[in-house]
């Protein structure tokens, strides 16, 4: 596992425990688990259908699947971070106002 032994992993675990505290570790674990599940779901949605052999995305652009996966993942991350989501909403409103004024 990347050249890390048991002593190194124990030291990392101890540092995480000291840095975040015992009260926040369950929340961090839950958030990490949900993130991994979301990534797996997105990857499953983007993978070709194994029963029919059809792809969920168009086969014309081979890079479209990767871009779409990255876009969906970026949307999930942006929605989870409150400050970024609010800034994005403000930017969208500003663009609408700018179009209306122009």
Residue 88 lies in a domain: yes
Least confident of 11-15, 28-32, 71-75: 71-75
Q: In the prediction, which pLDDT does 66 show?
A: 54
Q: Which alpha helices (DSSP H) does the chain contain, by range?
A: 6-20, 25-46, 64-80, 82-101
* Between residues 23 and 3, the one the model is more confident about: 23
More confident residue, 83 or 6: 6
Position 54 in a domain: no
Q: What is the pLDDT of residue 58?
A: 46
Residue 57, domain member (yes or no):
no
Considering the domain architecture, whether residues 96 and 72 belong to the same structural domain is answered as yes
Number of domains, the chain: 2
Tell me the residue range of the domain where 38 lies. Answer: 1-46
Instruction: Look up tokens 């797996």; give the residue.
Output: 40
- Interval 81-100 mean pLDDT: 82
Q: What is the rounded distance in angstroms from the CA atom of residue 101 to the CA atom of residue 95?
A: 10
Same domain, 69 and 41: no
In a domain, 55, yes or no: no
Report the C-alpha gap between 38 and 46 in whole angstroms: 12
For the segment 33-64, what is each residue's pLDDT rounded down to a tens digit?
A: 888 888 888 888 777 655 544 444 444 455 55
């Amino acid at each position: 596992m990347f050249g890390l032994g048991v002593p190194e992993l124990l030291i990392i675990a101890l540092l995480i425990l000291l840095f975040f505290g015992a009260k926040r570790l369950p929340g961090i674990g839950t958030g990490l688990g949900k993130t991994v599940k979301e990534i797996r779901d997105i990857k499953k949605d983007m993978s070709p259908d194994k029963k029919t052999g059809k792809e969920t995305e168009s086969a014309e652009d081979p890079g479209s699947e990767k871009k779409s996966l990255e876009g969906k993942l970026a949307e999930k991350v942006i929605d989870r971070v409150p400050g970024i989501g609010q800034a994005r909403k403000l930017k969208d409103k500003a663009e609408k106002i700018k179009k209306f004024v122009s």
